A and B are shown apart, each in its own frame.
Chain A
Amino acid sequence: MKFRKTAALAVAVLALTATACGGKEGSAGDKPGGVQPGASDVPALPKYVVATDVKLDSPTFTTAKERGKLVIGSKADQPYLGFEDQSTKKRSGFDVEIAKMIAAELGFTESQIEWKTVDSATRETAISKGQVDYYVGTYTINDKRKAQVGFAGPYYKAGADLLVRKDDTAITGPKAVKGKKVCSIKGSTPLQEIKKPEYGAQTTELGKYSDCVQQLLTKQVDAVTTDDAILKGYAAQNPEKLKVVGQPFTEEPYGVGLSKADKPLRDKVNDVLEAKIKDGTYKKIYDATLGLSGSEYTDPPAVERY
């Protein structure tokens, strides 16, 4: 009895929301000021040719082939890097393109990709438990993580930097944050760094970078620290209010995270990265995404095989 009523109620609530649907189409919020990936006056994204007849003795690849879908882990809240528009559900950004490029080389079309949003805190679990086939999302390669997951790449060299409000002249670099409130994600590498006595910042630890940026905009914190790529994305999204200091104080080589045991897949991804960096596809991706945020193109570091 009780459950029938509960169910009826649930259905009623659902019906209500369902009928509420059918509003405006398209992307809510501010329209990016002219610079938008895919717009006519900006560098276009490369087209990826989907490889056929890929043979790879990799357990991850074999299961993905069998299920007909490739599950890729990515961030969803980093403009120009790993971003999902909440009104159109479209993914865009540098990491997303790199992931698509690899998928094409593995023989998966764009419609065969299943995106999964995985936050920083749960990346290792998601990869090691096979929740995602591989993960592209500002994932710094380090030895601690190598104990749990495998890394292909690096495909990009980032470094921790500071994002501040545009009118802020006091924070000129990591040496000027003593006593200031710096926000980042709980447990992230730059946060551990800036906490050290030589910098001496007060830290605020939240769950998402966008939470930190909102706190910066509302003057709850004085700076946001994380990899410059992420920060430049935010600065480009909101150039009236935010700027990046431009004094990187760590090195963060980004890798593609995948199962630790799956060496064949790791080698394959490394091959793809090397080839695509060589033939210029990589630079095209960069120019059409991260390049728009003002950061200059530099050649990525050499792929490390291990």
Chain B
Amino acid sequence: MSASVLFDAPGPKAVVRNRILAVAGSLLIAGLLAFSIVRLSDKGHLAPEMWDIFNYSGIRQNIADGILATLKAFAIAAVGSLVLGVLLAVARLSDHKPVRWFATGFIELFRSIPLLITIYAVWAGFLTDYSMWALAVGLTLYNGCVQAEVLRAGVNSVPKGQREAAYALGMSKSQVMVTVLLPQAVRAMLPTIISQLVVTLKDTSLGYIILYPELLNVARLVASNTLVNGQYPYVSVIVVVGAIYVAMCLALSGLATWIEKRGRRAKTGIGTPPAGESALLSGDAGQAAGTAVLIQGDSDRTGGPGTGGGGGN
């Protein structure tokens, strides 16, 4: 574990001190939690009736519909952003200046505008009748740009020899890109790509702005339209929906772990960045690397996945 180099194996004094701190820390955290729970239940937010609403089939149906709507928009946006990502990445690496400039401008524009505003503008401007497509297109535009930068970083991280070898075999430019560079880039950046997909999944919740009935939107309606004990069940709904989102995102991150492990088993291509304690973490680190590259992008420094991707173990 990387952290252990930061401190010595504790001596007797340190053991005592650490124990005291551990107990104090746990007590403090437990105390805060207990305080919150007591305050909330004092005000009746945690009453059994508040949770009972989830026993009604109508409300379950609502939530199930919301999840389905969320996943639908996510699925379209995931496919769309990956396709757009590949196209933009290839365009940005192109030898033709106008193509490169166009891709760069496109990426910079949509990366700098808040996604909420892009979604709203796409909806109000073009796709008012199709809120699902408006949401998916908005998500695709933004996440496609991010994925493009991630892929570009991945392509740049492929050792130069690979490209040279491919050219030496007489491959064409596009052959080199498609059969040699991109596959390796995808493999190297997989954790980052997947953690960006997690971001995409979370961002479907912005659909509320265009009234797309995704999970969070549905949940808010459930919370505000069901009067329980003279109050609205905001707290219980937030807890339940929050748990659903965390579960969905963790499932997707779990997928990242699994793919990363598989990738490491197969000894071809360049290695994935060494994993941290868990793949979720290395996913994070990978994202940091990916985004790091985004910022450095112009200065032509190639921050491969190794620089930030938890590389220094």
Contacts and interface: CB of A to CB of B under 8 A. Distances in A.
A237 B226 CA distance: 11
B62 A13 contact: no
Interface in B211-257: 211, 220-234, 247-248, 251-252, 255
A83 interface: yes
Given A2-B255, A77-B221, A211-B224, A13 B211 contact: no
Contact of B228 (A29, A88, A125, A213): A29
A213 B139 CA distance: 32
B227 A84 contact: no
Given A17-B64, A131-B128, A25 B43 contact: no
B259 interface: yes
Contact of B52 (A28, A129, A131): A28
B4 interface: no
B176 interface: no
B252 A89 contact: no
A26 B220 contact: no
A100 to B, nearest CB: 19
Consensus secondary structure, chain B interface: helix
B225 A22 contact: no
Nearest to B213: A117
Interface stretch (B67-75, B103-111, B266-274, B276-284): B67-75
Given A5-B255, A14-B64, A21 B75 contact: no
Given A3-B79, A86-B59, A17 B232 contact: no
A87 B56 contact: yes
Counting contact residues on chain B (CB < 8 A from A), the size range is 35 or more
Nearest to B201: A6
Contacts of A98: none
Given A17-B67, A28-B226, A29-B226, A214 B259 contact: no
Contacts of A28: 52-53, 55-56, 58-59, 226, 228
A115 B62 CA distance: 16
Contact of A214 (B55, B75, B234): B234
Nearest to A128: B128
B150 to A, nearest CB: 14
B225 A84 contact: yes
A21 B64 contact: yes
Given A21-B60, A86-B58, A131-B128, A9 B230 contact: no
A237 to B, nearest CB: 6
A211 B208 CA distance: 14
Interface in B173-224: 194, 208, 210-211, 220-224
Contacts of A126: 128
A210 B226 CA distance: 10
Contact of A18 (B43, B64, B124, B225): B64
Contacts of B63: 17
A214 B224 contact: yes
Interface residues of A, number: 53
B250 to A, nearest CB: 11
Given A76-B221, A217-B231, A122 B211 contact: yes
A129 B210 CA distance: 14
B128 A129 contact: yes
A14 B224 contact: no
Which one of A21, A26, A87 has the highest number of Cβ atoms from chain B below 10 Å of its Cβ? A87
Nearest to B234: A214
B64 A210 contact: no
Contact of A13 (B71, B124, B222, B224): B71
Contact of B224 (A10, A85, A208): A208
B232 A23 contact: no
Contacts of B55: 23-24, 28
B225 A210 contact: yes
12 contacts: A3-B79, A13-B67, A21-B60, A23-B59, A76-B225, A87-B226, A131-B128, A207-B208, A217-B230, A218-B43, A240-B230, A241-B230
Interface of B: 43, 49, 52-64, 67-68, 71, 75, 78-79, 124, 128-129, 194, 208, 210-211, 220-234, 247-248, 251-252, 255, 258-259
